[in-house]
Structure 1
């Protein structure tokens, strides 16, 4: 397939992404107009800025003792198609190329043994016959490719989890419930291993402001596992949803658990998420492609919602609530507000949703330019 002229493609990308941003934020109530060059949304604490020009489409992030590991999503420029190792100030200290061209690297994960997993799972056009993960073992000089295939046709996905037993979990990017897929058997270098759908996760609704309106609150764009394996988090363009994991049962946690929500408001295009090394906070970073000139990706830190205290023992008297007008949980209040919305609010939601969908489609069109493996 002929590759368009780089300058022309760059202008097309800028125009499409800018149009998507305008459509998404112009009519969305409460949405911020324009993108802050500092990339520091409300509630976020900046950690460091990534100044390397190759890292303008960061889609995967993991924190390490020495700093961070990041990857771009599928890129045309060979210099961008690498695993980047950053120090604690976000300066690139080394890079590692892939042995062959990846299709669309979207997320990173770290196994219990320190292996870095790269999720080559993006498929905006839903046309890939196979997806893949790359595994970089500790002290290895190159990652190893393992291919997989869905049982029910292509899916776009941007989130990867790895259980403590080394089982990859692919979380698809779709509204109305993200699919959870795992391999039917051990991964093999010389074979394509089938996947099986093991469940679906439905995230609670929020009202967090983001460039893609309510659709941005529904699509899973990244995932991470806490250092001790006791929690996992899924993120959208707007929020992070943290689930408690008991006995390593990640699928059960995602399909049956009730998450704690941390708002990630108005990140320009937030896809990457990681736990800090101490597990006490979340780290995120957005893509900077299509943002105003001079905008740099910034690693942000968010304080986690505290874990609820254990249920009191039966022999310990529980506190008695005597007020009948005790406030409802935040999610319930949000749902009640939605139920009270009038026709004008409903119409506005439909318009915003349609424009948000167009915005996402335009962004996907910009990023869909990969060849078949």
Structure 2
């Protein structure tokens, strides 16, 4: 999220990642297991194919996207400028054809979902400072002039979140951003009502598979969830980090079971500037992404990228809910071993303390960054 007068989380995290790379570089060089895994991942991960470029200057902080029959719907992250705080409809060439304003100021819009009836759900759920007493969902019905606001509360205190899914009944599921590879799922306990605040309940947690996919935030970028999407037929869902997409089969429409007990298929999303959006193509055959940050490098524009959907897992060998190995999609890292296992090879131990110190410094720096980010009040 870009905040006037402050560095973005992405820029600060990239600076921290660069420092961490300097600290732990000797461990990478002298640990054959880690070096080989990193090289294999870099060689196997394939960049997405450009679909179209978003050239509208109002869309420089895209944090949520869904595909429609006519094109795309996108939103910015929380923004200071009123002109940016809108729901934007794009055609298939990424040109803005219309936009819809909110009736009041949103707090921190981070993701989009689309219902089977075409209703657009805007997840106003970002909370970098962990200070919001409520989060919100905006629902824009087909043909409506403005979205309707619904407020929700967590049962266990504030969380930062950037991902939203809908289950088979149209119930919203909020996925926290996490930070260490484990994220939590929350759902409203009753139907949402305008003007009311609906309590949520914790409905499960997800531990992301470990990968070595290259991204601007190093291992920090692989342990957070920045977006989510459901396939048009509802039979698959996907979570994304700054580095990868994790796709799960959905049994009988049960999204919670799919995420908490399923086996992920991995599609690497290598080196996206600050990837916070993901959606399925309308035919369900591709994953589409776009990065929040433009001008990285300077002069570039947000570009929608297409990735082939990972091949389905062998259902007989690893049915949904089994503890079988993670199935890797096209271009996936050849090694997804836990970091501890990678570091256990010969020559790695002399640098274990250095790597551990670098990790601690990075985590402390990330905590400071998250505390320092200001979220505008509604």
TM-score (norm 2): 0.83
Superposed displacement of residue 211, structure 1: 1.4
Gaps of 5+ in 1: 1-5, 32-40, 313-328
- Which residue number corresponds to residue 246 of structure 1? 251
Q: Distance in 2 between matches of 1:208 and 1:45?
A: 17
Superposed displacement of residue 354, structure 1: 4.3
Cα RMSD (Å) of the superposition?
2.6
- Which residue number corresponds to residue 229 of structure 1? 234
**Which among 188, 192, 195 is matched to residue 190 of structure 1?**
195
Per-residue deviation, residues 102-138 of structure 1 (Å, max 9, x unmatched): 0000000011221110000000000000001001111
Q: Distance in 1 between matches of 2:290 and 2:206?
A: 24
Q: Distance in 2 between matches of 1:68 and 1:366?
A: 33
- Please state if 1:13 is matched with 2:19: no
Question: Quick check: 2:181–2:222 contact (8 Å CA) kept in 1?
Answer: no
Question: Quick check: 2:129–2:372 contact (8 Å CA) kept in 1?
Answer: no
- Which residue number corresponds to residue 34 of structure 1? none
- Which residue number corresponds to residue 78 of structure 1? 82
Q: Aligned to 1:13, what secondary structure does the other structure show?
A: coil
Question: Quick check: 1:24–1:352 contact (8 Å CA) kept in 2?
Answer: no
- Which residue number corresponds to residue 319 of structure 1? none
Q: Distance in 1 between matches of 2:81 and 2:275?
A: 22
- Please state if 1:369 is matched with 2:375: yes
Q: Distance in 1 between matches of 2:71 and 2:189?
A: 34
Per-residue deviation, residues 300-349 of structure 1 (Å, max 9, x unmatched): 1111211134439xxxxxxxxxxxxxxxx843587742432713553454
**Which among 145, 150, 161 is matched to residue 146 of structure 1?**
150
Distance 1:153 1:102, change over 3 A: same
Q: Aligned to 1:350, what secondary structure does the other structure show?
A: helix
Q: Distance in 2 between matches of 1:109 and 1:133?
A: 10
Distance 1:145 1:10, change over 3 A: closer
TM-score (norm 1): 0.84
- Which residue number corresponds to residue 71 of structure 2? 67
Point out the more displaced range, 258-267 or 302-311: 302-311
Distance 1:18 1:109, change over 3 A: closer
Superposed displacement of residue 141, structure 1: 1.4
Question: Quick check: 2:131–2:158 contact (8 Å CA) kept in 1?
Answer: yes
Question: Quick check: 2:12–2:369 contact (8 Å CA) kept in 1?
Answer: no
Question: Residues 81-96 of structure 1 correspond to what in structure 2 (within 5 A)?
Answer: 81-96=85-100
Superposed displacement of residue 158, structure 1: 0.2
Per-residue deviation, residues 127-152 of structure 1 (Å, max 9, x unmatched): 00000100111111111000000010
- Which residue number corresponds to residue 264 of structure 1? 269
- Please state if 1:207 is matched with 2:200: no
- Please state if 1:100 is matched with 2:94: no
